[in-house]
Amino acid sequence: MRISTQSLLSNDLRVIGRLVDASNATLLAEIENENEILKVIYKPIAGEKPLWDFQDGNLAHREYCAFVLSDLAGFNLVPKTVLRDGPFGYGMVQEWIETDEDVDIVSFGQSKDPQLKKMALFDAVVNNTDRKYGHLLVEDGNLFGCDHGVTFHAENKLRTVIWQFAGEELGAQEKQLLQKSYELEYGKIFDSLLTNAEIDALYARIELLIEEGRFPVPSDSWPAIPWPPV
């Protein structure tokens, strides 16, 4: 059952655990949704570790921006995400994805599945600097992506494990997604969430992808693959 936005925003959160492998505080919580108790992920800003290249206390906002762009542009790759208060302060709350245990995510992530092609394009648009195999979630055959805190930087920092489409021509669906992404009014949508420089860079990335008509290739001035990759 998909959780409603209203439930994510307003219903009480009860923390029941922590994902210990995450670099920032990532808490497993429960929330009531239409008389059913569902799991969610809660990342309080207070639990974010400072990064040298991203402003402090802003990773949750970038997670939310990634969801908004995915949703409005039609990528539909990021689980429903909101910004709200919680037991440990303000932060990001996201619906839980129950992953298919029979899917080998590394093998899947190296395949030519069309959903991965869409994810590769999405990561190029949001300038994802940390797309690992472990951030790919498959539920009932549908691909989702999580952990988008290090995105939308003004400098090109694309770092991902999905390079199997590098240099390939964009298809009709990819071009349509880019066009819809370019037409969104990010100055209004991301006001107070991203800087003007980051918003300008977002438009520039989309425009370049449209002009070149191909998937990006790894940079020779920035590590192409995150470490560890899983």
Q: In this predicted model, what pLDDT tens digit does every residue of 109-129 receive, in sequence order?
A: 999 999 999 999 999 999 999
Per-residue model confidence (pLDDT) at position 1: 63
User: What is the value of pTM for the model shown?
Assistant: 0.96
Question: How many Å apart are CA 28 and CA 14, to the nearest integer?
Answer: 9
Is the model's pLDDT at 2 over the cut of 90? no
DSSP secondary structure string, 86-129? -TTSSEEEEE-----TT--HHHHHTS--HHHHHHHHHHHHHT-S
150-169: average pLDDT: 98
Domains and their CATH numbers in the chain: 5-212 (1.10.510)
- How does pLDDT run across 25-49, given as a tens digit for each residue? 999 999 988 889 999 999 999 999 9
